[in-house]
Amino acid sequence: MSFFNSLPTRIPLAIAGGILYAGITHYIFILLNLPSDVAVFAAIIIFLFYLNSRFLLLFSGIDSPYYSKMKKGIPKPPIETSFFYQTAQWVGKFYHYHDIALLIFLVLFAISFLISLGVDWWSKIPFGTTAEDLSNSLIPAP
């Protein structure tokens, strides 16, 4: 548990997630035939929003389901009546469940990729052909 609840783990995950969501945003804007400048601007806004919201939660000093500092000594009672504390709790729960859903999605994606490699091996066709055919059928090209 302490590995996932550490800053050296959470900071790269926040950066990687911001990059992934910025890329998805850029791709959606391009699929909608919006100008490239608008797509880049939207991707930058999404990246900054995602990264800053995670950093705010990490460095706020408020324990939440997303990240809690391991304090030694007598714990300070939180100020539960402030809107910032209540919002940090809500966002922490959201990011916690978001990370669980993302992990499940990535595991299922990896399993399906391994199955497609097995199908390629069994059918004696070049590796990656089944995954490429599947991705071409599911994701429209811009």
Question: What pLDDT shows up at residue 65?
Answer: 72
Mean pLDDT of the residues in the chain: 82
Contact 67, 93 (CB under 8 A): no
Contact 69, 55 (CB under 8 A): no
Task: Report the share of the chain in percent with pLDDT over 70.
Answer: 86
Query: Which amino acid, 73?
Result: G
State the DSSP H helix or E strand holding residue 6, giving kind and residue range, or none if neither.
Answer: none
Question: What pLDDT shows up at residue 23?
Answer: 92
Q: How far is 113 from 74, CA to CA, in rounded Å?
A: 49
Look up residue 125 and give its DSSP letter.
-
Predicted confidence (pLDDT) per residue in 89-115, tens digit: 888 888 878 877 877 887 888 898 899
> Residue 142: is its pLDDT beyond 80?
no
Question: What pLDDT shows up at residue 99?
Answer: 75
Cα-flanking dihedrals φ and ψ of residue 120, to 5°?
-60, -40
> Residue 128: is its pLDDT beyond 90?
no
CA 81 to chain centroid, in Å, comes to 30
> Residue 72: is its pLDDT beyond 60?
no
Q: How far is 14 from 21, CA to CA, in rounded Å?
A: 11
DSSP states along 72-109: -SSPPPP-TTSHHHHHHHHHHHHHHHHHHHHHHHHHHH
Q: Which of 84, 78, 67 is nearest to 5 (CA)?
A: 67
